[in-house]
Structure 1
Amino acid sequence: MSEPVQKSNSGVGNETGLYSEHEEWAVNMGEKTIHAKRMPGFYRSIKYFTESFWLILFLAPYMRWNGKQALILDVNDRQFHIFGLTILPQDIWMVSLLLLLLAMTLFAVTSVASRVFCGYFCFQTTWVDLFTWIEEKIEGAPNARHKLDAAPMTGAKFGKKAFKHTLWLLISLLTGISVIIWFEDAHVFWGNLLHFNLSMIEGATLVAFTLGTYFLAGHLREQTCLWLCPYARIQGVMCDAQTLMPTYDEKRGEPRGRLRKGAASADEPKQGDCIDCFQCVQVCPTGVDIRQGQQLGCITCGLCLDACDSIMDKIDRPRGLIRYMTLDEVNGVPVKKLYQHPRTLVYIGILLIALMGIVYGLSHLGTLTLRVAPERQPLFVRMSDGSIQNKYMFKVLNKTDKDLYVKVSAEGGVKGQVIVDSDKKQLVHHGKASGFTIFVKAPEENLTREVTKLQFRVENVEDPNMKAEYDTVFTGPKR
């Protein structure tokens, strides 16, 4: 990465007047705290909306379903419960497809719109935005916060700082609790917490998430995005000249200068639309001056667009001095449609394959899963009455949260076949596979071939709609 450089206000154009992709980088090294200004606008509203999705982290674990927690990732028992659906280790391939789907969605979005995930959805960005909102309510606007930081410690300053950090720690604590109760029952955890009866793992996890949230969102802030987040590193190589990013229109904005009163004289050079108000810099959560070109610190949040558009409205000039553009568009290169990019088709193909796999898995998940293994030594036994008997080992996986009794039946096979003790109910325990043995015998004279197709079915005694089937064979003597 290039070292930070000093730049003039002439923009990032090179000698030909065109932008070069990532020509220069401006990096905030953390010498001073960024106190970003908050301004209303279209992209700020979108940001509030997308950030509100993180409320799911806090609220979802408290939903109940049939007297139990509706959403729980029970790692200890190797079960994921999603309302009435239970995902067991045998179905982990669907979780892998889900992770692939999320990863490819992130890569596709990055290639199209750069770090839009960072700007609107990232948990670090969301928590920083929440913490700085609290900071603004307690300590005031950015200028007031700068003055307070520079002022000597007084009783009033200590009170404001103490109140702010107390709220930060409280939110961090709730964040840690909310993460943990995704992995164990919320009611049980709160009971253990209030009675100081947490296990060592629970206590260590709670402390780690609480302190991690407090320091990352409250103190490191944008430095986390710059130096700790791996996504901030890889996103640079995933963007190209056809990626949408917040971009300053240098041709329209330069030469920039303060807004003049009255008409300009004929001998004065024509001034661009940028009046050097620095509102785009003041609202940036990472302290980036977007007029200096694409930079490592830009998280594509679009807040600079809101700030610039509000100024353009005030001085009666058209919006869009800073807007989402591609470098090709800036340089006058014909812009391809989204569907004309080969990478788009590749991403869509992978996303569709992963999505179809997940849909197929969920539609064929069922509450019971049956596996049948015929006995191999011997393949069959000739009984004293002349009938041929086969032995089968059943494995029934019960994905519900309670024990069930099932009965076994069969279709196809040999005429006159009988399941020994067919009326016997078999107990299958919840959340795991239960095994038992089944014998099937048939008159030898009814066997027309050595191997006959046979389908077994197990169904819940109380609910016949809860069933599972398995295709196997009935083996007899050679014909």
Structure 2
Amino acid sequence: MTDKKIQIENLYEEGELWVQNLGDKTIHAKRMKGKFRNLKWLAIFVWLPFFMGPYLTWDDKQAILFDIDNRQYHLFNITIFPQDIWMLTMVLLFLSILLAIMTAILGRIFCGYFCFQTIWTDIFTKIEQWIEGTPVQRRKLDKEPMSFNKFRLKLVKHSIWIAIALFSGITWMLYFGVTWTNYVKGDVTSTTMVITAIISFGAYVFAGFMREQTCLWICPYARIQGAMVDEQSILPTYDYYRGERRGRLKKGKFVKGFGDCVDCHQCVAVCPTGVDIRKGQEYGCITCGLCIDACDLVMEKVGKPKGLICYTSLAEMKFNKPVKVFYKRPRVIIYASVLFLALSILVYGILNLAPMDLKVLHDRQPLFVQLSDGSIRNKYELKVMNKTNKIMPISISFSSKIKNLKSKKSFKTVMIPSGNVKSIYVYLIALESDVGSDNNVIFVVKSEQVTLEYKTLFFTPKSI
């Protein structure tokens, strides 16, 4: 290797000629104090409910539970069944539009502060720093041949990483009714073990090894964000006009003709994805603002105003246009309208969840049967679902303008088990001469909590 290549390699390792990492090097980002660093630590608490959720109880039962066996989802005192799956569509629509509106206003703010990959990686790298030291020490350790000290440090680090990954995987499965006791006693199904292993392995590999490569190559959001931002989106931006031409301080003084950027590369050193913000926006930037903390600290030390790197829009930085308030931007208005619609439908659905569901299916083969006395018989299947956690007694009746319409059997109180659908067959009989132009039949099902009606038809030869 030539002296020039060695020099370039050394500069690369020190962050002097750093470019976006494509996976050939491990990024050991420097940690510097600042308001955005503090915000990232606070954002970790967004995921605290994830680890607390399985332990919450409601009416002596697990408050949040995905009961796959019984096809039920319990959310405190709300029970959601497959028949209400449309609400999941509203939840997904709400979250996707929320992500879009956040991106339109503040770029990839979700990636920088709230994404589980970002937070888990932040935790893993913090543990790595506690055990292996500063970025320079970690790079040096990675290059060293295997020794007892290196093996010891790596073993401790990976053991903690695996423990966190396993804890994450097991916590996820607790939402599906599995308990810690099941794991301790080995009383879990092979499916549960496989899913736990996949989630744990994913957390361990993505947060511990792939890190920013997960964002760059696996997550599609990095690619599609370009369609969501515009010149009004507020992003971490380098003030090119103030900073260029870059130049290092000489004997502690600025050189005439140079800008405010002292080319210290601290903004690159702290970036968790290896982006040089001075080269402009890249899809690797997760808008975490850590480069702003680093630059402000340097500017303060050299006696220059802060804000060489700051959150601003392209319109403000390049064209000196004021940032429009978000509610005056057409794209944001459209996103907000869809967001409000999805949320309204979701809230309405939750507030109006009926404890019982009723469907009436008319027998199609045949539509009717003509009995020996000339009367017409229709067969109906009443499918009644009990959405409560208790046995539900119901009564059945019907009404119609058809004269002398009667049931083959008398109706009795029917008990519907909790979370189950019960089919009740009803045979209605009437003379064809008694059936006029109005052949509607309304079935009425009553429980203690609710009364449901369902309209259907009574078929005869002349109604076909």
Determine the C-alpha separation between the residues in 2 that align with 1:412 and 1:38: 76
Report the RMSD for the aligned CA atoms in angstroms.
3.6
Determine the C-alpha separation between the residues in 2 that align with 1:469 and 1:459: 9
One-letter identity of the residue aligned with 1:96: T
Is residue 256 from structure 1 mapped to residue 240 from structure 2 by the alignment? no
* Cα 1:225/1:375, change in 2 over 3 Å: closer
Cα displacement (A) at 1:402: 3.4
For the residue of structure 1 that corresponds to 2:201, the secondary structure is: helix
The match for 1:185 among 177, 185, 199 is: 177
One-letter identity of the residue aligned with 1:304: C
One-letter identity of the residue aligned with 1:371: K
One-letter identity of the residue aligned with 1:352: F
Contact 2:124/2:208 (<8 A) preserved:
yes
Determine the C-alpha separation between the residues in 2 that align with 1:451 and 1:476: 12
The match for 2:55 among 23, 40, 62 is: 62
One-letter identity of the residue aligned with 1:217: A
Cα deviation digits, residues 46-73 of structure 1 (max 9, x gap): 2222222222222212222333322222
Q: Which runs of 5+ in 1 are unaligned?
A: 1-5, 7-24
Cα deviation digits, residues 388-434 of structure 1 (max 9, x gap): 99875422111123332222356897999998987721021222321
Determine the C-alpha separation between the residues in 2 that align with 1:174 and 1:301: 26
Is residue 33 from structure 1 mapped to residue 17 from structure 2 by the alignment? no
Q: Which runs of 5+ in 2 are unaligned?
A: 1-7, 9-17
Instruction: Compare 320-329 and 422-431 and name the one that shifted more.
Output: 422-431
One-letter identity of the residue aligned with 1:50: A
Cα deviation digits, residues 37-93 of structure 1 (max 9, x gap): 222322222222222222222221222233332222233443222222222222212
Determine the C-alpha separation between the residues in 2 that align with 1:87 and 1:362: 9
Larger RCO: 1 or 2 (CA < 8 Å, sep 6+) = 1
Determine the C-alpha separation between the residues in 1 that align with 2:431 and 2:106: 71
Identical-pair percentage: 44
- TM-score, structure 1 length as denominator? 0.80
For the residue of structure 2 that corresponds to 1:451, the secondary structure is: coil
One-letter identity of the residue aligned with 2:438: V
Cα deviation digits, residues 434-461 of structure 1 (max 9, x gap): 12145789999xx99753877554333x
The match for 2:392 among 404, 416, 441 is: 404
Aligned to 2:438: 451
Aligned runs of 1:143-292 on 2, under 5 Å? Answer: 143-182=136-175, 184-187=176-179, 190-259=180-249, 269-292=256-279
Instruction: Compare 309-318 and 135-144 and name the one that shifted more.
Output: 309-318
Aligned runs of 1:124-135 on 2, under 5 Å? Answer: 124-135=117-128
One-letter identity of the residue aligned with 2:260: D
Cα displacement (A) at 1:131: 0.2
Determine the C-alpha separation between the residues in 2 that align with 1:71 and 1:283: 38
Determine the C-alpha separation between the residues in 1 that align with 2:130 and 2:420: 52
* Cα 1:36/1:336, change in 2 over 3 Å: closer
One-letter identity of the residue aligned with 2:120: W
For the residue of structure 1 that corresponds to 2:65, the secondary structure is: strand
One-letter identity of the residue aligned with 1:257: G
Is residue 45 from structure 1 mapped to residue 43 from structure 2 by the alignment? no
The match for 1:426 among 398, 414, 439 is: 414
* Cα 1:31/1:147, change in 2 over 3 Å: same
Cα displacement (A) at 1:218: 0.6
Aligned residue pairs: how many? 445
Determine the C-alpha separation between the residues in 1 that align with 2:261 and 2:400: 81
Aligned to 1:311: 298
Contact 1:283/1:303 (<8 A) preserved:
yes
* Cα 1:313/1:422, change in 2 over 3 Å: farther
* Cα 1:309/1:455, change in 2 over 3 Å: farther
Determine the C-alpha separation between the residues in 2 that align with 1:263 and 1:130: 39
